[in-house]
Amino acid sequence: MRMPLIAGNWKMNGSLALIEQFGEAFASAGLPTSVEVALMPPFPYLPAAQAALGGTSVMLGAQTLNPAHSGAHTGEVSGRMLKEFGVEYALVGHSERRQLYREADEAVYDRLLAALSADIRPILCVGETLEERDAGRTRDVVLRQVGHVMARLEPQQRARVTIAYEPVWAIGTGRTATPEQAQEVMAAIREYQAGFDRELAAGLRLLYGGSMNAGNAAELLSQPDIDGGLVGGASLKVDDFIAICQSAG
């Protein structure tokens, strides 16, 4: 069956001191073995996070990567480099990347391929804006974002992808999608995937993201098609993040 994944996306937040605090807390937290946990700090903190979390089961993730392995790309970081620091997951297509850095579907696809070729598991982020939801376009928008990538992958590549559904209006706003709203979109994504392969669809891991916190995680995670969470703000508070991980177990 699908192993839940709770991924903490620190965005451009955190510090060396916070990394140390997480390392100590996770070393004594006794996380459920039935849950995978990943922490995604900003790039400069990866070596410190690798050291601090070394004795725990927490995995490392990156928030983005460049499509190229190396070369003249000032300011960018490649999957191969991330792999040297033990990175196992990478977000691609986060709505902040799509909106603030103009990453379109094609750029998201290129990054996802780069992750796969560096043997990093991509987490493809998708989600509609409030305007799109109000116009009744949620399903179309989300399935377009999913399809743009998934339709072009080989079956063995598809099997490596996790999808995070993050309604843009719920990110960082304190306004969470209801479990029913999230479930409806998750079910549509899984059904879309079943068009390629039913078995792969049954194994596809789907995360919810958008103001998930210690208070609402259990109810969201109890939905049949929600297999974990991509957590922003609440992943910066160690007790809250550990509580979310525990509620997935």
Should residue 120 be labelled a site residue for ligand PGA when binding is judged by CB under 6 A?
no
Should residue 172 be labelled a site residue for ligand PGA when binding is judged by CB under 6 A?
yes
* Least Å from the CB of residue 166 to ligand PGA: 6
Q: Binding string to ligand PGA for residues 175 to 214, with x set by CB under 6 A, is what?
A: ----------------------------------xxxx--
Should residue 146 be labelled a site residue for ligand PGA when binding is judged by CB under 6 A?
no
Should residue 231 be labelled a site residue for ligand PGA when binding is judged by CB under 6 A?
yes
Should residue 240 be labelled a site residue for ligand PGA when binding is judged by CB under 6 A?
no
Q: Name which of 98 and 158 has its Cβ closer to ligand PGA.
A: 98
Q: Name which of 15 and 117 has its Cβ closer to ligand PGA.
A: 15
* Partner residues linked to 87 by β-bridges: 60
Nearest partner of 6 among 171, 150, 168, 162, judged by Cα: 162
Task: Name the burial class of residue 213, with classes exposed (0-12), middle (13-18) and buried (19+) by CB atoms within 10 angstroms of its CB.
Answer: buried
Catalytic-role residue among 36, 128, 132, 166: 166
Per DSSP, the three-state class of 97 is helix
199 catalytic? Reply is: no
Distances (CA, A) of 169 to 32, 106, 240: 31, 23, 22
* Partner residues linked to 5 by β-bridges: 36, 228
CB count within 10 Å of CB 241 equals: 24
94 catalytic? Reply is: yes
Q: Which stretches of the chain bind ligand PGA, using CB under 6 A? A: 9, 166, 171-172, 209-212, 230-234
